[in-house]
Structure 1
Amino acid sequence: MSVNVRSVAFFSGDGVRVAGDLYMNGEPDGRLKAPAIVLCQGLSGEKHKVLPDVASSFAAAGYVTLAFDYCGCGESQDRRARPYVFPSERVEDALSAIAYVAQLPFVDSGRIGLYSISYGGPVAIHAAAYDRRVRCLAVVSGPGDGPAFLASLMDPREWELLREEIEADRSKRAVTGKSALVPLTHIIRFPDSFWARYRRLGSADESESLPEAAGHAPVPMLSLESADAMMRSLPGSVMSLVAPRPILFVHGEEDDVAKPALARELFDRAAEPKQFVALPGFDHIGLDTGEGLKQQVALAQQWFDRHLKG
């Protein structure tokens, strides 16, 4: 049976329209309700990056699978002028995605899982904490709390300067209502090893790490207001609310973007049942493509089979 992909749309908070792709193993059988998995994308926010391979694998295994563009990304509508990354609003989009899937007549609303990759990890953790219909989740290459993640990629002086810029921009916004745009790399200081690997990719769609550069900008831009919002992403603070839902962490041992130590801090706060799998020889992009992608998807599928089907 071939995987069937259907374009869908639903509404998130503030009535903004979210574009999604629904993956199914053939046409749905009205007599049997299938388990479902909602995919939470990484920083790029766009469903065409990496997620098609993930969704196709899950669908072939019998899961109704939803990939979607966060608001402000891809084909979804905007809450403000692009570009922006507001993790709390992405959580709202994920909660709406769960609600959309749960009401489909061919989905078993009691068997819904969340899969997340990279910066989608905090989104999935927050969504699971708030929505009891989530039965289990898999977090792949996820970072920790916002301040710890950003600080881990720069030296202490750079971190202090960025915090001062964010605070000054917040004061400016209080008067003017506008935020300064800066290169994304000014906020997230990807290491040289990341760029070396990124340049070897055949296509930017093989990595979920970077959003598209808007207009004629040479690099992706982001507002300091977004950086301020990223600082308030604190998945560690809601880990206790995820319990007792099973949670799987999968991480490349050599990931120098989302550091394994930060993921382990979240794992340590999680309650049983839980599992942490460190894949040797893989960095951040390594789990987006090729053998690393196959391994992390297989691990996630085994987790869902155990806790959604078993």
Structure 2
Amino acid sequence: MQKVHFNNRQIQMAGHLYTPADFDGRRQYPAIISVHPGGGVKEQTAGTYARRLAEQGFVTLAFDASYQGESGGQPHFLDEPMNRVADIYSAVDYLTTLGFVDAGRIGVLGICAGGGFAAKAASVDRRIKALATASAVNVGAATRKGWEGQGSINDLLPVLDALAAQRSAEAGGAEAAYAPYVPQLGDSSAPRDLQEAADYYLTARARHPNAQNKMLMNGLGAWVAFDAFDLVEQLLSQPTLVIAGSAAGSLWHSQELHAKAQGPKQLFIIEGAAHMDLYDGPQVDIALDKLGPFFRLHL
């Protein structure tokens, strides 16, 4: 693994580039971009998948989203969905400049929110030849309907009122306000997936100083208006592999993505797995047993 930097317009992006053990710079390799979840960084699950896929013979890239982690962009901790999609375009740009990457064989893997952003990017950027997701989440739909898809958009109206008031306050000089990605440890009122997300991000299991569990509140309006899958049924014709756990509260996102994708597609359900099980642990091995052959076939 080597640390790399590339540009997303005026923002310098920070990434980790992984190469196979028998890497030969005179060859050309298929490449995979690994896109981290909301609030995550390249050192966590995106890096795990990138490293493991490099062991299977791919050049892989995990990077911090713009405005987050070690990547540039001010104000930091801004998280707007289309920025995340543009990050993926810039990662593809970067890979095409590397002589040892075959620019005609680039794929994307997205985990959680990264899966939604990857689907949006692949729907538009035809340089992406194959798409895979693990525990995919469409952050717009999750914001509008709740984590398990049972909420009403009317529940958002007080949130939007608070957001409007906060933006006005900040315009007048007030301090910025932040919202957490995951609940506090021990919050039994949160859905199971999110309780387990807190265990992942806020304990030694995967805690990292660059993943601070906060996003600028004034970016939430962009989440409400975003839909990762709105053009999938018309534009996503590349081969698609969707992986999710049968016990995940987020399963409905993966089912929707699979239903809408127009190209060769597969929905692979890991029986008994919850959302966070695809971040680390033995279920990652099961996912990788599907991902490696999928990308070898289509890249």
TM-score, normalised to structure 1's length? 0.83
Counterpart of 1:73 (choices 56, 68, 73) is 68
Counterpart of 1:261 (choices 235, 240, 252) is 252
Q: Take 2:286 and 2:182, find their aligned partners in 1: how far apart are those partners?
A: 32
Q: Are positions 1:165 and 2:146 aligned together?
A: no
Structure 1: 5+ residue stretches without partners: 214-219
Q: Take 1:179 and 1:151, find their aligned partners in 2: how far apart are those partners?
A: 29
Could you say what secondary structure the match of 1:236 adopts? coil
Is the alpha carbon distance of 1:119 and 1:211 closer, same or farther for their aligned partners in structure 2, counting shifts above 3 Å?
Answer: farther
Q: Take 2:232 and 2:174, find their aligned partners in 1: how far apart are those partners?
A: 34
Structure-to-structure mapping, 1:75-154, within 5 angstroms: 75-78=70-73, 80-144=74-138, 146-153=140-147
Q: How far did residue 145 of structure 1 move?
A: 5.5
Q: How far did residue 303 of structure 1 move?
A: 1.2
Q: Take 2:247 and 2:38, find their aligned partners in 1: how far apart are those partners?
A: 19
Q: How far did residue 106 of structure 1 move?
A: 0.6
Is the alpha carbon distance of 1:163 and 1:202 closer, same or farther for their aligned partners in structure 2, counting shifts above 3 Å?
Answer: closer
1:43-77 per-residue CA deviation (whole Å, 9 max, x = no partner) reads: 12410012232112111111100111111222111
Is the alpha carbon distance of 1:184 and 1:174 closer, same or farther for their aligned partners in structure 2, counting shifts above 3 Å?
Answer: closer
Q: How far did residue 204 of structure 1 move?
A: 4.3
Is the alpha carbon distance of 1:276 and 1:210 closer, same or farther for their aligned partners in structure 2, counting shifts above 3 Å?
Answer: farther
Q: Take 2:139 and 2:196, find their aligned partners in 1: how far apart are those partners?
A: 25
Which residue of structure 2 aligns with residue 21 of structure 1?
Answer: 16
Which residue of structure 2 aligns with residue 217 of structure 1?
Answer: none
Verify the 8 A CA contact 2:88 2:121 in the aligned structure 1. yes
Is the alpha carbon distance of 1:122 and 1:68 closer, same or farther for their aligned partners in structure 2, counting shifts above 3 Å?
Answer: same
Structure-to-structure mapping, 1:135-284, within 5 angstroms: 135-144=129-138, 146-153=140-147, 155-156=151-152, 158-169=155-166, 172=168, 176=172, 180-184=176-180, 191-194=190-193, 196-198=195-197, 204=203, 206=205, 212-213=211-212, 220-240=213-233, 242-256=235-249, 259-284=250-275
TM-score, normalised to structure 2's length? 0.86
Is the alpha carbon distance of 1:135 and 1:179 closer, same or farther for their aligned partners in structure 2, counting shifts above 3 Å?
Answer: farther
1:226-275 per-residue CA deviation (whole Å, 9 max, x = no partner) reads: 2112123212222145432111111111112xx21232122211113111
Could you say what secondary structure the match of 1:71 adopts? coil
Q: Take 1:137 and 1:250, find their aligned partners in 2: how far apart are those partners?
A: 11
Q: How far did residue 210 of structure 1 move?
A: 11
Q: Take 1:208 and 1:138, find their aligned partners in 2: how far apart are those partners?
A: 25
Q: Take 1:250 and 1:234, find their aligned partners in 2: how far apart are those partners?
A: 20
**Greater mean alpha carbon deviation, residues 246-255 or residues 26-35:** 26-35
Q: Take 1:98 and 1:205, find their aligned partners in 2: how far apart are those partners?
A: 32
1:59-100 per-residue CA deviation (whole Å, 9 max, x = no partner) reads: 11111001111112221112x222221111111111111110
Could you say what secondary structure the match of 1:237 adopts? coil
Q: Percent identity?
A: 26
Q: Take 1:205 and 1:85, find their aligned partners in 2: how far apart are those partners?
A: 24
Is the alpha carbon distance of 1:107 and 1:290 closer, same or farther for their aligned partners in structure 2, counting shifts above 3 Å?
Answer: same
Q: Take 2:201 and 2:174, find their aligned partners in 1: how far apart are those partners?
A: 37
Q: Are positions 1:7 and 2:6 aligned together?
A: no
Verify the 8 A CA contact 2:234 2:262 in the aligned structure 1. no
Q: Take 1:151 and 1:248, find their aligned partners in 2: how far apart are those partners?
A: 24
Q: Take 1:294 and 1:58, find their aligned partners in 2: how far apart are those partners?
A: 11
Q: Take 1:57 and 1:300, find their aligned partners in 2: how far apart are those partners?
A: 10
Could you say what secondary structure the match of 2:229 adopts? helix
Is the alpha carbon distance of 1:289 and 1:222 closer, same or farther for their aligned partners in structure 2, counting shifts above 3 Å?
Answer: same
Q: Take 2:49 and 2:26, find their aligned partners in 1: how far apart are those partners?
A: 26
**Alignment root-mean-square deviation, CA:** 3.1
Could you say what secondary structure the match of 1:300 adopts? helix
Is the alpha carbon distance of 1:151 and 1:202 closer, same or farther for their aligned partners in structure 2, counting shifts above 3 Å?
Answer: closer
Verify the 8 A CA contact 2:42 2:63 in the aligned structure 1. yes
Q: Take 1:238 and 1:8, find their aligned partners in 2: how far apart are those partners?
A: 32
Counterpart of 1:32 (choices 27, 35, 38) is 27
Counterpart of 1:46 (choices 35, 41, 46) is 41
Q: Take 1:209 and 1:242, find their aligned partners in 2: how far apart are those partners?
A: 36
Could you say what secondary structure the match of 2:118 adopts? helix
